[in-house]
Chains A and B, each alone.
Chain A
């Protein structure tokens, strides 16, 4: 049974920093791409970042690039999101999710999807 458990959320002032963690179990964590996805209160889902299985590959949404850093520790089955220079608009529930891929040909996978999700960690940035 796959479990993803986020921690580290809380209240922080604009300009401050916070580090989220995600503890994974029930999957071969070191083989998996992982992602952070957020959802502002009453709003839709917004992809934040993903990281390759070894940690070498990372990708970020433009609205967090340069402020957020995704990382992982495969020995601890853990995913992290370091969030710096936080803004009020970063207020959201942050979900940890496994990113899977399918329908691959010649090095390109045409489907990216998120098949396991944590319950989320609330980050509130005040002005």
Chain B
């Protein structure tokens, strides 16, 4: 299956650490990327190839992967990190799947 499963919602206290996960069989072979989307805006790439951070993305964002699960960790969450987060991967046919998204609330 090429489905990717994410928790629908996660919350974190301001300044604390939060982990958002993405689970799917394709992640055993292919690499996850992560996107942040704020209301009314296009998604922004925050992590690609499991753990690579594009230029301009704060280093409090990090990625990791083990087995069929990829994780996005925000260390010291800020108010501006409140957003929807989506993962994606590819499958063996070259198609792409996105996870259902996780709504992050910063308390």
Using a CB–CB cutoff of 8 Å, the interface residues on chain A facing chain B are 35, 37, 44-47, 50, 59, 61, 95, 99-100, 102-103, 110-115, 117-120
Contact = CB atoms under 8 A, between A and B. Distances in A.
A102 B49 contact: yes
Contacts of A119: 42
Given A44-B100, A45-B86, A111 B50 contact: yes
B83 to A, nearest CB: 13
A123 to B, nearest CB: 16
A113 B49 CA distance: 8
Given A44-B101, A45-B86, A110-B31, A50 B96 contact: yes
Contacts, number: 73
B95 A114 contact: no
A9 B29 CA distance: 36
A44 to B, nearest CB: 4
Nearest to B84: A44
A45 B98 contact: yes
Given A112-B88, A113-B88, A103 B49 contact: yes
Given A59-B94, A112-B96, A47 B52 contact: no
A95 B42 contact: yes
A111 B29 CA distance: 10
Nearest to A120: B42
Name the residue in B54, B88, B99 with the highest tally of chain A Cβ atoms < 10 Å from its Cβ: B88
A102 B33 CA distance: 11
Nearest to A116: B45
B49 A45 contact: no
Contact of B45 (A50, A103, A114): A114
Nearest to A112: B90
A110 B98 contact: no
B42 A111 contact: no
7 contacts: A44-B99, A47-B97, A110-B30, A111-B31, A111-B49, A112-B33, A112-B90
Contact of A115 (B45, B90, B95): B45
Interface string B40-74: 00111100111010100000000000000000000
Contacts of A100: 48
